[in-house]
Structure 1
Amino acid sequence: MARGNQREKAREKNLKAQASQKSKNAKSGTEMQRDKEAVAEMMRKKQAAADAKKQAAAAAASK
């Protein structure tokens, strides 16, 4: 009988821990899409800057 009580206590502890965890996705579809587009735009700018830096380095090396 003690084993069943231990199992129940562990189950209650686990349920409490799961309830306190933040859910993975709390955004609506449009919010998620807007955030993805914002991140993609930042990455495009970052990539463009890196490409410009590479071209400048290549131009300086060829001189």
Structure 2
Amino acid sequence: MARGNQRDKAREKNLKEAAKKKNSNTLSGSEFQRKKEDDALKMREKQAKGEFV
């Protein structure tokens, strides 16, 4: 029976860690939108640079 208890404890630990990772987004809506636009601009610049090389 010790194995079953060990499995349950490991499962609980993994669920807690997954919950922490899931809630790690701390950006507000406007901050997220600004970051998204900045990232898109960087990607466009990167793609344009790649076309001329």
TM-score by length of 1: 0.51
Give deviations 1:26-50, integer Å, cap 9, x for gaps. 2110000000011101101000000
1:27 aligned partner: 27
Query: For structure 1, which segment, 35-44 or 17-26, has the greater mean C-alpha deviation from structure 2 after superposition?
Result: 17-26
User: Residues 6-33 of structure 1, C-alpha deviation per residue, up to 9 Å, x if partnerless?
Assistant: 5xx74xx827x62772414221100000
Kindly, what percent of the aligned residue pairs are identical? 35
- Partner of 1:25, secondary structure, is coil
SS in 2 for 1:21: helix
1:3 aligned residue? none
1:37 aligns with 37
| Residue segments in structure 2 that go unaligned for 5+ positions in a row | none
Count of aligned pairs between the two proteins: 48
Structure 1 residue runs without a partner (length 5+): 1-5, 54-63
Runs of 4 or more consecutive aligned structure 1 residues displaced over 6 Å after TM superposition: none
